[in-house]
Amino acid sequence: MPEPKERATDIIFLVERLESLVATGKKLPLTNNVVLEQAAVLELIDQLRVAVPDEVRQARRITEEATRITERAREEGDAVIARAQEQAARMLEERELVKLAQQRAEEIIDTVTREAAEIRRGADEYAAGVLIRLEGECIKALTSIKRGIDMLDEHHRPPRATADETAAVPVVADLAPEPTGAAPRQ
């Protein structure tokens, strides 16, 4: 199975190929429109459809791994707390050391509670960082896919014919960007 970085690269590579098809398409004179090879564009879209679910599955696996890490941290913290409580109970049984045992038990519980909180916090921060990076990659990929779909929609929209035009008008994709509210390409 490819590494996460390879998968992100695969999607970006496919988007760059789509962009290259648009950039190298036959430009229609006096317009910002180009003629695209339909089969090549549809093939790239199919490849993107296959690649995007891998990213979604990767996000799910990362979320599950973060949950496992958090749960393991909780279990370790609970085990440490249980050991501390057992140790405290044994110390309490010895009459001469009752006060010392109580103090030590509280210290251990406080330390373990702090350590468990730090482990949980670290696991949560790690999971959040991974998910934020993955979200950014998914947003970039989805934005590129949306642009491709918009270009294909434009490609399939019937051209506006005037009364003076007698020849067939070729179907073209508009290269002028439409405002989508998406972040600009980098």
The percentage of the chain sitting over the pLDDT mark of 90, rounded to a whole number, equals 18
Calpha distance 67→73 (Å, rounded): 10
pLDDT of 117 > 60? The answer is: yes
Higher pLDDT, 173 or 112: 112
pLDDT of 106 > 80? The answer is: yes
Q: Are 120 and 73 in contact (CB under 8 A)?
A: yes
Calpha distance 46→74 (Å, rounded): 43
Higher pLDDT, 167 or 35: 35
Where do we find the tokens 């916090």? 121
What pLDDT, in 10s, does the model give residues 67-77?
A: 999 999 999 99
Taking Cα atoms as reference points, which of 158, 168, 144 lies closest to residue 22?
144
The percentage of the chain sitting over the pLDDT mark of 70, rounded to a whole number, equals 75
Mean pLDDT of all residues belonging to the chain? 79
Cβ atoms within 10 Å, residue 172: 21
pLDDT of 146 > 80? The answer is: yes
pLDDT of 58 > 60? The answer is: yes
Provide the whole-model pTM: 0.30
Q: Are 144 and 183 in contact (CB under 8 A)?
A: no
As a whole number, mean pLDDT of residues 113-127 equals 89
Range scoring the smallest mean pLDDT among 18-22, 52-56, 165-169 = 165-169
Calpha distance 122→3 (Å, rounded): 23
As a whole number, mean pLDDT of residues 113-138 equals 89
Calpha distance 150→156 (Å, rounded): 10
pLDDT of 168 > 60? The answer is: no
Calpha distance 66→5 (Å, rounded): 18
